[in-house]
Structure 1
Amino acid sequence: MASLRCKILPLLAAGSLLASTLLAGNALSDEHGDWPERVHLGTASLGGTYQVVGDGLVTHISDKLDVLALSQATGGPYHNMTLVHTGEAELGLVTLGPARELWDGEGVAAPGEEMRNVRALFPMYQTPFHVVTMADSGIESIEDLSGKRVGVGPMGGTCAAYWPQFLDALGIEDVHLQYAGANHLADYLPSRLSDAFAFCAGLPIHAFQRLERNHDVHMFGLTEDEQATLMETFPVASFEIPADTYASMDAPHASVAFWNFAIGHKDLPESFVYALMKLVLDDSETMEAIHPAMAEARAEHLDKNDVLWFHPGAVRYYEEQGLEVPTAMLPPEMRPEEESADIADADAIDEAIPTDTTD
């Protein structure tokens, strides 16, 4: 009898372990049951930081979350906000300047359309504005760009939207703007098809690095007065580009910068977004390996976003880290009942007001 009991007990234990494993597996399956089979992530042009970061992120998502993730080359933040808002892409990368314009319905391509189907996820890094020329161009500063052919990135990107405004605010006239991807504009310089390339991206900018590996170049930023003028006129912060960013630099350069955030569609499952937040913000080593600029991708930088409501999955992650998401940045469904009602009433009023389509 004792011998029979000895044989049965291990079987019961094994059965209990199997049942526990199956239950855990079912619970995990239930949590992941509404996850998308694939996601598209909007980046920007080849040679820019978004493209490098985006390619690294989709590889990491596919490997670790078992969701097929695909990067999509786009025109940049304006395009990405539109793609995520319409559901054509589930994820995207944006700078907060363009994001604010489209969130508030001030986009040139879709005036009056507030892109509120977008939710903020995790902070990434700051995007400073920087200029590169050939060393023998004779162009040494922003003032020297007057009358010159200046590449400013692809149409629809942050750089192409703000560099012309910056130059105008600084009184730089008669600039002949050129629009194309980062790699193309970098190649224009040694071919003498362009005089300068004024760009903005997380540091180091790969297109700048590639250019200086093969040619003698000159890089410059802003004077202190130019920096102050832009900070007074635009929603940008001061930034100093470190002297060791590129081999061609021998001193820090003053600049201004926007913060970058990852975004997602509001209907993405909370558990998926939470898993994505952990994947990125709990593994700083992997993020920095994707691109050095991602060293700034830290949870405490959530306060840099005062534009977009956070996704509930992101809120869950931040709160688990002991961080408080401001009420104004919570999505309507997570706010106190009276505040959610106020938002709904405001949306209803906006929808009831007819749009003036006359010129």
Structure 2
Amino acid sequence: MKKWKSLSWIVLLLTLVMGLAACGSGNASGNKDGGSASKGSESYSLLTGGTGGTYYPLGGQFANLWEDATGDKFTTQTTGASAENMATLQKGEAEVAFSQTDIATYAIEGKEMFKEKIEGIKAIAALYPETVQIVTTEKSGINSIEDLKGKTVSVGAAGAGVNINAKQILEVHGMSFDDIKPQNLSFEESTDGIQSGAIDAAFITAGTPTGAVEGLSAQNKIKILNIEKDKQEKLMEKYPFYAEDTIKKGTYGIGSDVNTVAVKAMLVASDKMDEDTVYKMTKALFEADKINHAKGEFIKPETALEGLGDIEIHPGAAKYFKEKGIEKS
């Protein structure tokens, strides 16, 4: 009798263990199939920039949006921004990244700072303008880009994006660095140099308003040089990653709108990311209730394909834009 009771307890315990295992198996299946429990089914890295820039805070918001939309995990990484991000993607050490449209173009073409073509990179979308600002002061007597001849001008660090912007803009005006006295200075060094009189003008490519330029305008009446319409068109024809831009009257205290050009901040992804994931990411990005950042107002599907030039669109992003009736110009 005792023997049968012992066997009965063993059978009961086995039944309970098997039942719990079945429940656990059911939950694992549920995690894989979707719903809030599915978070973490895939993990992706999003490359941003430095903590003091725009990419980093936007990246944190995008990661949260994408986790909610896809059920996957997105982890942001601080980096040296565009050029480093492109190289890291090619190594397979991340899947998504911020870049500027011009830097991404150089990467896929193997030009400028890239000695070899970087392959396997696709565009998700252009986000907001990184405006080319040619800054001087009212008292400098410089009224046009041609007036920069013979002047001491900051053109950014050698090989940096702004340095190449300066070369290209001077080029469409029939000029080169030989026509000016170029200085390789940071944005802060540039505005300090204008303030002290050490330099006459500076090329600065950044979202407006730019802190360094705001600091200069607090103590000086500044001037931003126009890029005339015909020169904009010539520039965009040769370098299709540029787009028209306007610095509005009142920015830095300027008295009228300034016509210029911009490259775009953009998102790129590895072509190994599946179409459905990137589709959900793109949809979430442009249909979010609010992106809590000053640049959020620029992030809209209508302008998301501007300035991308020859960079191919990821099939997942292309699917979303096709649904919205938006085509690459």
> Which residue is equivalent to 1:218?
223
* 1:42-97 Cα shifts (integer Å, max 9, x gaps): 44796xxxx22x122222145453533123233x4x44333322335543333333
Seen in structure 2, the aligned counterparts of structure 1 residues 165 and 310 have a Cα distance that, compared at 3 Å, is closer
1:310-325 pair list within 5 angstroms = 310-319=313-322, 321-323=323-325
> Which residue is equivalent to 2:112?
108
Q: For residue 199 of structure 1, report the CA deviation from its aligned partner.
A: 1.8
1:57-136 pair list within 5 angstroms = 57-64=58-65, 65=67, 67-74=74-81, 76=82, 78-105=83-110, 107-111=111-115, 113-136=116-139
> Which residue is equivalent to 2:207?
202
- Give 5+ residue unaligned stretches, structure 1: 1-18, 330-359
Q: Secondary structure at 1:115's aligned position in 2?
A: coil
Larger Rg: 2
Q: For residue 274 of structure 1, report the CA deviation from its aligned partner.
A: 4.0
1:261-300 pair list within 5 angstroms = 261-268=266-273, 270=275, 272-283=277-288, 285-286=290-291, 289-292=292-295, 294-300=296-302
> Which residue is equivalent to 1:34?
42
Distance of 1:159 and 1:243 partners within structure 2? 23
Distance of 1:125 and 1:162 partners within structure 2? 17
Q: For residue 26 of structure 1, report the CA deviation from its aligned partner.
A: 4.1
Distance of 2:311 and 2:253 partners within structure 1? 37
Q: Secondary structure at 1:230's aligned position in 2?
A: helix
1:165-204 pair list within 5 angstroms = 165-172=168-175, 173-204=178-209
Q: State whether structure 2 residue 219 is matched by structure 1 residue 242.
A: no
Distance of 1:314 and 1:231 partners within structure 2? 24
Q: Secondary structure at 2:285's aligned position in 1?
A: helix
Distance of 2:40 and 2:276 partners within structure 1? 7
1:42·1:83 contact (CA, 8 Å) conserved in 2?
Answer: no
Output the amino acid matched with 1:104.
E
Distance of 2:147 and 2:74 partners within structure 1? 49
Identical-pair percentage: 22
2:138·2:222 contact (CA, 8 Å) conserved in 1?
Answer: yes
Q: Secondary structure at 1:116's aligned position in 2?
A: coil
TM-score, with structure 1 as normaliser: 0.68
Q: For residue 161 of structure 1, report the CA deviation from its aligned partner.
A: 0.8
Seen in structure 2, the aligned counterparts of structure 1 residues 115 and 124 have a Cα distance that, compared at 3 Å, is same
1:242·1:253 contact (CA, 8 Å) conserved in 2?
Answer: yes
Q: For residue 204 of structure 1, report the CA deviation from its aligned partner.
A: 2.7
Seen in structure 2, the aligned counterparts of structure 1 residues 313 and 31 have a Cα distance that, compared at 3 Å, is farther
Distance of 2:29 and 2:305 partners within structure 1? 39
2:48·2:56 contact (CA, 8 Å) conserved in 1?
Answer: no
- Give 5+ residue unaligned stretches, structure 2: 1-24, 68-72
2:155·2:166 contact (CA, 8 Å) conserved in 1?
Answer: yes
Q: Secondary structure at 2:208's aligned position in 1?
A: coil
Q: For residue 120 of structure 1, report the CA deviation from its aligned partner.
A: 0.7
Output the amino acid matched with 2:310.
V
Aligned length: 294
Q: For residue 99 of structure 1, report the CA deviation from its aligned partner.
A: 2.7
* 1:297-325 Cα shifts (integer Å, max 9, x gaps): 22233443342222344245445x44477
TM-score, with structure 2 as normaliser: 0.73
Q: For residue 211 of structure 1, report the CA deviation from its aligned partner.
A: 2.8
Distance of 1:219 and 1:207 partners within structure 2? 14
Seen in structure 2, the aligned counterparts of structure 1 residues 282 and 211 have a Cα distance that, compared at 3 Å, is farther
Q: Secondary structure at 2:312's aligned position in 1?
A: coil
Seen in structure 2, the aligned counterparts of structure 1 residues 213 and 83 have a Cα distance that, compared at 3 Å, is farther
1:42·1:89 contact (CA, 8 Å) conserved in 2?
Answer: no
Q: For residue 233 of structure 1, report the CA deviation from its aligned partner.
A: 4.5
> Which residue is equivalent to 1:337?
none
Q: For residue 261 of structure 1, report the CA deviation from its aligned partner.
A: 2.1
Distance of 1:278 and 1:123 partners within structure 2? 14
